[in-house]
Amino acid sequence: MKLKLNKYWTEYLLKYPEAGMGYQRVDVILKSGQIIKDIVVLNAEDLILPDGYENFKLVEIEDLNVQNRK
């Protein structure tokens, strides 16, 4: 499932380097404490979630931990 990130998260991700051409890998930390590991974000704006997250809402995100950030 693809979820469009809001301006806040897009600007946050633009501060960090890409893992490859046009994408970053992040761990999505939810307000519930759950962590969804190794998620791809395309162009700092499209969060690509695995199956099982069809009802996921953007407001559930507490933080994004960018992998390999410097």
Q: Is residue 70 exposed (0-12), middle (13-18) or buried (19+ Cβ within 10 Å)?
A: exposed
pLDDT value, residue 3: 95
**Mean predicted lDDT score pLDDT of the chain:** 95
Position 48 scores a pLDDT of: 97
pTM of the model: 0.91
Residue 23 domain boundaries? 2-66
The pLDDT value given to residue 70: 54
With a cut of 90, say whether residue 28 has pLDDT above it: yes
* pLDDT class of 69 with cuts at 50, 70, 90: low
pLDDT at 68 over 90: no
Asked whether 64 and 9 are in contact (CB, 8 A), the reply is yes
Number of domains in the chain: 1
